[in-house]
Amino acid sequence: MNIKIICVGKLKEKYFKQGIAEYAKRMSKFAKFQIVEVPDEKAPESLSNAEMANVMEKEGQRILEKIKDRDYVYALAIKGKERTSEEFAAEIDKLTTYGHSDIDFVIGGSLGLDPAVLKRADTQISFGRFTLPHQLMRLVLSEQVYRAFMINIGSPYHK
């Protein structure tokens, strides 16, 4: 199984990198795990709607270049479906049972995800209505993917 998190921008904070590295190490017995960063589009603080759409489109194209045709794609979106950890684990288990060995998670830039990325996604997932820093979301997502594997093997980690 291959798990890929595709995200916009570089992760700079050492403590986030360390946390993600720890979960990547733990997941290595279940899956190949990787983070794929695409460059964010430089933009001024205040943008018109057209400029925002242009930034999102450029970032979206970079994201879509990293997704293979057969990949199953989760787009992280505030309007996505919320799941419990158990529901998420069951989904991952079902995907692998039915031949989806490449699962991608997409985290957009500060403006969100381009409609083309949302259209390509097989499903949208939300971690709640809070707005979280994208760097922190990478860590939270890494932990939840690891938790899903642990739930699926019946490990006490989840309790």
In the annotated binding site for S-adenosyl-L-methionine, the residues are 76, 108
- What are the binding residues? 76, 108
DSSP secondary structure letter of residue 41:
P
- DSSP H helices in the chain: 14-27, 49-65, 85-97, 115-120, 134-152
Q: C-alpha angle with apex 75: 145 to 132, nearest 5 degrees?
A: 75
The one-letter code for the residue type at 142 is S
